[in-house]
Chains A and B, each alone.
Chain A
Amino acid sequence: MRSNWFQRHSILPGFWPSLGSSMLYLSLVVLIPLSAIFLKSASMTWPRFRSAVTAPDVVASYKLTFGASLGAAVVNAVFGFLVAWVLARYRFPGKKLVDALVDLPFALPTAVAGIALTSLYSENGWIGRRLAVWGIRVAFTPLGVLVALIFIGLPFVVRSVQPVLEDVDRELEDAAASLGANRWQVFSRVIFPLVRPALLTGFAMAFARALGEYGSVVFISGNMPMRTQITPLLIVAKLEQYDYAGAAALAVVMLLASFVLLLFINILGAHGRKYMEAR
C-alpha cells in the first residue's frame, strides 16, 4: 500500500478492516441513533419546538438541574481539593483504603446510591432524623437533588487534582519558603496556580456528569412537578406520555449543554498541557 492523501504508508496489515469495522460499529450503535434526536426535533415546527423547551415546568427543571449541578460541582471542587490534598501530602493509617473508596461513586450503580441516600436522608433515616431536629429536610426537596449530585461528582475533582499535587516540585516550595514566604503565601502563590487547571477540569467534569444524572436523583428528589423534577426525568415523563417529539426537543437542549461543556473541558485540557510543557 502506498502513502496517499488519507493514510501514511505502513507495513502493518489490517488498516482497512479495523478502521472499517470500527466506523461501521460506531455509526450503527452511536452516530445514527443519536442523529434520530436531531431529526425528530427538526420535524417539529419552530414555535412548537420553542414552546416545548420553554414550558414553565421545563424551565423550572432547567433551573433545578443546572443550579443543583453547579452547587454540587462547587462543593466537590472545595472538598475534592481537600481530599486530594490530604491523600497527596499526608500519611495516616488506612490511607490506601480511603484512596480506593474515593472511586466508589464511579463503581456503585446509581440506583443503589439513590435508594441508600434516600434511606439515610429521609425523615426517619439515620441522618435525616438528626437534621429534622433542626428543621432541615433533605429527602424530597431540592437539597436532596444536591446531595445525590455531590455523591455522583465526588471522584472527578479528586482524581484530576491528586496527580498534579503529587507532582508539585517540593524544591519550588522550599525555595519560596527560604525567600521568606509564609505557608499561606506558598500555597496561594506557588501551589494553587499549578493546580488550578486540573481543578477547573475536575469541576467541569463533575458539572457535566451531574447535568445528565438520573438514577441517583429520581429516588431522593420525590419528583414533584415545578419543585424537584430534573430535566432528564421530564424526558422520561414525556416518553411515557408518548410525546416523542417533546422528549427529543428536551434532549437536544441537554445535548447542546453537554457539548458546550465538553468543548470547554477540551480547551482547558489543551491549555493545561501547554502550561505543563512550558513549565
Chain B
Amino acid sequence: MNGGRSYATDPAPLRWALTAAALGFLGLFVAMPLAEVFGQALEKGWQAYWAAIDEPDALSAIRLTLLASGIAVISNLTFGVAAAWAIAKFQFRGKNVLVTLIDLPFAVSPVIAGLIYVLVFGSQGWFGGWLDAHDIRIIFAVPGIVLATVFVTFPFVARELIPLMQSQGNDEEEAGLSLGAGGWQVLFRITLPNIKWSLLYGVILCTARAMGEFGAVSVVSGHIRGLTNTMPLQVEVLYNEYNFTAAFAVASLLALLALVTLAAKSFLEWKVRRVHSELEANPEA
C-alpha cells in the first residue's frame, strides 16, 4: 500500500478515468440518496423539521424503536457471548452445523422473518387460539416487534466473537483457573476484556440494523399509530400520506444514526485489526 513506485504502474489518464468513474458511481448511488434525505427534511426550514419530530406519534415511534432495539441487542449480546464461549473454547461434534445455523437469519428475507412469527403467534397460528383465550397479544403488538427485531439481528454479535475467540485460544483462561479463579471471574476478568472491541463492533452493527429494520417489523406490527409504529414504519406512514417533509425529517434521524454507525465502525475496524495483528505477531501473548 505504500511506496510510490507501484502506484505508477497504471498511466495517469487511466488512473484519473477509473477514479472518476468509481467516484461517479458512488456519488450517484450513495452520496446523492444521503443528501436527498437531509435536503428534503430541511426543505421547509428548521421549524417545520422540529415540528415534524416533536410530535406525539413520532416521539412514540422513537420510544418504541429504542425499546425494541434495546431488548434485541441485550438478548443477542448475551446469546452471542454464550454461543461463542461454547463454540470457541470447546471441541464437540456438530460445531460447524451450529455455526451455520447461527448465520441462518442472514439468509432469510426480512418479510419471511415476520411471517414466521405470524404463523406461530397470529390469530390463525399455532398458539393463536390459546393466546386469544388468555387475552395476550403478540402479533400486531410490541412483543411481535421485539421478536422480529431479535430475529433479524440474531447473528451479529456471535459471528464477530467466534473467530476472534477461536484465534485467541484457551491459554489465558486455563492459567486463570489454575491460579484459583472461578468460571465467572475468568469470563469477566480475562475473556471479556480480550474481546471488548469485537464485542462493541458486533453491538454497533446489531443496534443499527435493529433500529432500521423495516420488512420484518412491518409484517408483525399492524401499523397502529402511536402504538406499534417504529421509526421506519412511521417514515412509511408519513410518506404514504404525502407528508414528505415529516417523513424525511424522521428518516433524517435514522440517516444520522447510520452515519454515526459508519464512523464508529471505521474506528473499531482499526482497533480490531490491531488486536488481530498483535495476535499474529505474538501468538503466545
Across the two chains, which residue of chain A brings its CB closest to B109? A212
Contact at B25–A166, with CB atoms within 8 Å? Answer: no
Instruction: Give B71-96 interface residues, CB cut-off 8 Å to A.
Output: 75, 79, 82-83, 85-86, 89-93
Total interface residues on B, CB under 8 Å, equals 96
Residue among A13, A23, A170, A259 with the highest chain B CB neighbour number at 10 A: A13
Say whether A8 faces chain B, with CB atoms less than 8 Å apart: yes
- Inter-chain CA distance A242–B9, complex, in Å, is 62
Q: Which residue of B lies closest to A31 (CB)?
A: B101
Q: Number of contact residues on A: which range applies?
A: 35 or more
Whether A109 pairs with B92 at a CB distance below 8 angstroms is no
Partner of B212, one of A112, A251, A261: A112
Q: Is A2 an interface residue (CB 8 A)?
A: no
0/1 interface trace, chain A 107-145, chain B, CB 8 Å (1 if under): 111111101110110000011000000000000000000
Q: In whole angstroms, how far apart are the Cα atoms of A174 and B192 in the complex?
A: 45
A126 x B266 contact (CB < 8 A): no
B116–A103 contact, CB under 8 A? no
State in angstroms the CA–CA spacing of A248 and B26 once bound together: 37
Q: How many A-B residue pairs have CB under 8 A?
A: 279
Hey, which chain B residues are within 8 Å of A113, CB to CB?
A: 33
Inter-subunit contact A92/B19 (CB<8 Å): yes
Interface residue? B224 (CB, 8 A) = no
**Out of A22, A23, A154, A258, which one reaches B109, CB within 8 Å?**
A258
Q: Mark B174-190, 1 if CB is under 8 A from A, else 0.
A: 10010000010011000
Q: How far is the CA of A149 from the CA of B150 in the complex (A)?
A: 24
Contact of B251 among A89, A112, A236 (CB under 8 A): A112
Across the interface, name the chain A residue whose C-beta is closest to B112: A251
Chain B residues with Cβ below 8 Å from A31 are: 101
Q: Is the CB of B19 within 8 A of A262?
A: no
A278 within 8 A of partner (CB): no
Q: Do A126 and B32 touch across chains, with their CB atoms under 8 A apart?
A: yes
Indicate if B7 sits at the interface (CB-CB under 8 A).
Answer: yes
Question: In the complex, are the beta carbons of B122 and A215 less than 8 A apart?
Answer: no
How many Å from the CB of A263 to the closest CB on chain B? Answer: 10
CA distance in complex: A239, B19 (Å): 46
Q: Please state if A254 and B112 are interface contacts (CB–CB under 8 Å).
A: yes
Complex Cα spacing A8 to B76, Å: 27
Chain A residues lying within 8 Å of B29, measured Cβ to Cβ, are: 147, 150-151, 154
Q: A12-B173, A212-B110 are in contact. Are A104 and B34 (CB under 8 A)?
A: yes
Is B197 engaged at the interface, CB distance under 8 Å to the other chain? no
Are B116 and A34 in contact (CB-based, < 8 A)? yes
Tell me whether A100 is interfacial, beta carbon within 8 Å: yes
Closest to A96 in B: B266
Please name 16 pairs of A and B residues whose Cβ atoms are closer than 8 Å in the assembled complex, sorted by A.
A7-B92, A12-B173, A22-B83, A26-B102, A32-B120, A36-B116, A82-B21, A83-B25, A103-B262, A111-B251, A111-B254, A112-B37, A112-B212, A116-B33, A116-B36, A254-B109
Using a CB–CB distance below 8 Å, which chain A residues touch chain B? 5-8, 10-15, 17-19, 21-23, 25-26, 29-34, 36-37, 40, 79, 82-83, 85-87, 89-92, 96, 98-113, 115-117, 119-120, 126-127, 147, 150-151, 154, 166, 170, 173, 177, 183, 208, 211-215, 219, 232-233, 235-236, 239, 242, 244, 247-248, 251, 254-255, 258-259, 261-262
Other than the given A115-B235, A232-B111, 4 more pairs (CB < 8 A) read: A7-B90, A33-B117, A79-B25, A127-B32
Closest A-B pairs by Cβ, 8 of them: A109-B212, A212-B109, A215-B214, A214-B215, A13-B183, A22-B83, A107-B258, A33-B116
